Amino acid sequence: MAMTFDKTDLPVLKPFRMEGAPYDAFYHTRWLAGLRLRWVAVLMVLWPTAALAQSGMAMGEAFAALWRWMPFLVTQGFLFNIVISLFSMLIGTTLGVMLGLGQISRVGVVRKLAWFVTQLFRNSPWLVLLFIVLLALPYELNLFGQTVRIPAWMKAVFGLSLPVMANISEIVRGAVLSVPSGQWEAADSLGFTRRQILYEIILPQCFKRMIPPWMNWYAILTMATPLCSLLGVEEIITLSRQAMSAEDNQPELLVPFYGFALVLFFAYCYPIARLTIWLERRVSVKF
């Protein structure tokens, strides 16, 4: 028996469809690069003003304390954050390139092991990795009868380089696989070995494709360096706490000191974000 449905002019609630947005690896960089500098400047001025207006300490006194400590925070603190980010990026890039090439190896064991290491450190919280490295690595080593101490900042560099290594590995793998397969076949027909094809034909084309995401991850790494303060590394956040402690831990100092750290990181990372977007447009394939 055929089923019939009665027609009605009443409003009917249609089923809800939830469609996920496509993944964008440059989302945070685009957001940072898209900020209007004038609105950021207004916010950085009004936010400390509104916060200090609710406290008992005058704005002039709070910023006078910040002014006294500013050279110390920049030269001994923020520059150390940059040093940590540079060393972490150098180690992470070196290991990441080797790991990425391992993911496209013809040897199954090497390929699977490289994939496992990449996914392990790529999907692990950065703070957890830092604590594991802090507890796993010794504080000193005995080499040829000499005691060599391992400072906390070196452990922090190694801990931050692990997630960077995993993400650089994915960048290298994706860049190599993005080269049309016809180039592999053409080079193979000319008698090139796989090593020659990879290092003389494929990888030179991948450099310009890898630079924008590489810079994107460097900006993310730089903004993650304050996590090292939890390990006792004397970077800008740790020194800011020490400076506020020297000023009798006035709660009114929180906004000026941490706001100053925010300004430094923004001034350093914003040009990197803008340059990353420009390079991405420059090297993008035009159809």
pLDDT in tens, 250-285: 888 888 999 999 999 999 998 888 888 887 777 665
pTM: 0.75
**pLDDT digit string, tens, across residues 150-168:** 888 898 999 999 999 999 9
Instruction: Please give the domain boundaries of the chain with CATH numbers for all domains.
Output: 65-281 (1.10.3720.10)
Q: Are 193 and 202 in contact (CB under 8 A)?
A: no
Residue 134 CB contacts under 8 Å (≥ 6 apart), including other chains: 152, 155, 159, 231
Contact assessment for residue 275 and residue 215, using Cβ atoms and an 8 Å cutoff: yes
What region does 35 belong to: left with phi over 0, alpha with psi -120 to 50, or beta? beta
Q: What is the pLDDT along the chain (287 residues), one digit of tens a residue?
A: 555 555 555 555 555 454 444 545 566 566 666 666 666 555 655 555 554 544 455 667 888 888 989 999 999 889 999 999 999 999 999 999 999 999 988 888 999 999 999 999 999 999 999 999 888 888 877 777 778 888 888 989 999 999 999 999 999 998 888 888 888 888 888 888 888 888 888 888 888 888 888 988 999 999 999 999 888 888 999 999 999 988 888 888 888 999 999 999 999 998 888 888 887 777 665 54
Q: What is the mean pLDDT of the chain?
A: 81
Q: 28 Cβ partners below 8 Å, 6+ apart?
A: 216, 220
In angstroms, the CA 275 to CA 287 distance is 23
**Gap between the Cα atoms of 152 and 130, Å rounded:** 10
Q: Are 214 and 272 a contacting pair, CB within 8 Å? A: no
β partners of residue 143: 146
Using DSSP, state whether 162 is helix, strand or coil. helix
CA distances from 1 to 4, 6, 203, 278 (A): 10, 16, 67, 66
In whole angstroms, how large is the CA radius of gyration of the chain? 26
Residues 6+ apart with CB under 8 A from 132: 159
Q: Which residues pair with 149 in a beta bridge?
A: 140
